Amino acid sequence: MMQVQVELKSITNLGYAVNRCGTLRVDNVLAFIDSQIEQHFDRFNCHNESNVDDSELYNQRWILSSTDITLSPSFNRCQFGSSYDVLIKLESEKIASRYFTCRIWPSNKRKQDEQICFIKMIKVPMSPVEKFLLTNETVHGQEYRHIHNKQHNYSYSITIRPSDLDANQSIRLNNLLIFCQHAACHAMNDKKLKDINDLYDLLRIEHVQLHLMNVASYGDIKVYIWQTRDREDNNTLNFLLTQSSNHICRASIKLNSKVNAAIVPFGSVPIIYYEDNCRVVPTSHCSLYRDRFGNPHLNAFMRMIGDINTSMLHYEDLASLTQVSKGARYLTVRQNLHVHKHFFAIPPNAVLQHEVKVAAFGNTSFTFNQNVYHRSHCLLNVFTKIVCMFDGKLKVLPPWHKKRYRNLFNKVDLRKMNIPAEIPSKACKYRFESRFDDIDENFHTNQTVYLCNSLNAASHVVRNQLKAYHTDFGHDFNPSCLTDLQSNYYAESFEHQILDVFTWQDSEDNTLQFLIKHHQQDVFYMTATIRDDWMSFQPKL
């Protein structure tokens, strides 16, 4: 077989999704590589030497069924905004499987000893009848069909969110890795894991294995955990994920106490043009961020936008903000988002530009305006009002700053939204837990998680044909039917907390409303306007 490979250079997406410590997320790396294989799959299929007519398999969707990831110690030093070179090779192909390898380096450092990770991946085809083919070669002859429950140290149930699902309406392998990490974090908090005492112990990852045994969709996943040790006394966390009576996935995460895991400074992003109050940031390969409808994933884009704003505050000193707010915690309190139609037509691997500028100042706040462009088309227009907190108190901007930027004082007024006095009786309640990957550098739930789970609540209403909305959205809720989203943030929430989303639509109104509460505390409120031509965005079922 002639070897086929795809080489990608200066990829920034890997560095635009970081964990709460500011370093790369393993699940994001896995999702990105899987998405790139999907984008280039026709090329990888060109050299099949089998005499068997498997064109029917080629026309199916192929899913990632098995992966083996080895991380170098330098992986935990990879910062936000960094760029990387990626080399993906098709190593072998069989009728019902494709075996790939992937190597990743920091850009312009293509030496073997500077490689940050090495990934082995196997993809198998989905079948309309059998769901997917799982052959012995897909797991290298390893059988994970039997485990005695008495072996596990701990178990925890996690509910699948609609946003976890891909176009096959099944959960991806990278999301199952998140489930493993979330369950391990619960086990650590409950003192069920030996010699694992804090978050940093869980982030000292050396090796990850995931083997898919069945597909999972809506419902709960139960995660069983047990520990083993190797000859060097390194800790390995083993996982079995089940749904009902089905074994879904077997996984292991090998930890190495010698691997450094700590908070790193928030990385800077590349700037290609700037003025006193404006920066333009290039980013690439948006194919990673796709939801189950094939749309660019709005939540992931909004998280990237928020992290770019944070990077600007740390490194670029827009309108002297770094000078007046050094050492502060930055908290978003208000956001207006306009989603243009062009956003849902972004081609795979499009190169985008983010224009960031300070739009306004108040006595204790400032407002960023960010526009995301593809070529000449504006995709997203976002206004974000941010406050600086010192020791739990609002920071008042100094007089000299107000004088210097008086043309921006109160130029944009993002006022606090009024929450309805009462939640209507027809409102639907959707419950979710703040997960391991939902937490940002402030060690609280990232604000985009509220947006994501508001849309999940809408999906829950539509899929279950509940009476909270009078608009008939069909069989599932496609977020592309929304255009203007206005939101307010009232309180912080934290990992493992259970939050409730209340959602409804008033009579004869084209606006959906979402209120998130933690017990009796209001956390988040959002209104979302339905497009006039929303029916053209309905998924094909």
Q: What is the CATH number of the domain that holds 460?
A: 3.10.129.10
Do 433 and 341 lie in a common domain? yes
Do 290 and 183 lie in a common domain? no
Note the maximum CA span of the chain. Answer: 78
Expressed as residue numbers, the domain containing 60 is 4-255
**Tokens, residue 406:** 């008086």
Residue 288 included in any domain? yes
Percentage above 90 pLDDT, the chain: 48
Residue 147 included in any domain? yes
Residue 504 included in any domain? yes
Do 346 and 303 lie in a common domain? yes
pLDDT in tens, 173-204: 999 999 999 999 999 999 999 889 888 889 99
> Of 366, 280, 282, which Cα lies nearest the Cα of 320?
366
SS3 state at 350: coil
**In angstroms, rounded to a whole number, what is the distance separating the alpha carbons of residues 184 and 203?**
11
Do 250 and 297 lie in a common domain? no
pLDDT at 416: 83
Q: Is the pLDDT of residue 29 over 50?
A: yes
Do 395 and 441 lie in a common domain? yes
Beta bridge partners of residue 428, listed in sequence order: 503
Half-sphere exposure of 227 (CA within 13 A, CB side): 16
Do 82 and 226 lie in a common domain? yes
Do 139 and 24 lie in a common domain? yes
SS3 state at 96: coil
Beta-carbon contacts of 387 under 8 Å, excluding residues fewer than 6 positions away, are 330, 331, 333, 364, 365, 394, 395
Number of domains forming the structure of the chain: 2
Contact 46, 329 (CB under 8 A): no
Residue 121 included in any domain? yes
Do 526 and 401 lie in a common domain? yes
Following DSSP, what letter does each residue of 45-70 receive, concatenated? HTT---SS--HHHHTS-EEEEEEEEE
Identify the domain boundary among 234, 255, 276: 255
pLDDT in tens, 448-503: 999 999 999 999 999 999 999 999 999 999 999 999 999 999 999 999 999 999 99
pLDDT at 59: 62
Residue 270 included in any domain? no
pLDDT at 495: 93
pLDDT in tens, 342-357: 898 888 778 888 899 9
Identify the domain boundary among 255, 274, 307: 255
Do 373 and 249 lie in a common domain? no
**In angstroms, rounded to a whole number, what is the distance separating the alpha carbons of residues 145 and 136?**
12
Do 232 and 340 lie in a common domain? no
Residue 507 banded pLDDT, cuts 50, 70, 90: confident
pLDDT in tens, 305-326: 888 888 888 777 788 888 888 7
List the beta strands (DSSP E) in 230-374.
235-243, 246-255, 273-275, 278-283, 329-339, 352-361, 365-374
pLDDT in tens, 73-132: 889 888 888 889 999 999 988 877 899 999 999 987 766 668 999 999 999 887 643 444
Residue 416 class from Cβ within 10 Å (0-12 exposed, 13-18 middle, 19+ buried)?
Answer: exposed
Residue 268 included in any domain? no
**Tokens, residue 311:** 């990077």
Contact 13, 284 (CB under 8 A): yes
pLDDT in tens, 275-296: 777 888 876 555 556 889 988 8
Do 399 and 458 lie in a common domain? yes
Residue 55 included in any domain? yes
Identify the domain boundary among 208, 234, 255: 255
**Tokens, residue 433:** 């837990």
Do 182 and 292 lie in a common domain? no
Residue 86 included in any domain? yes
Q: What is the pTM of this model?
A: 0.91
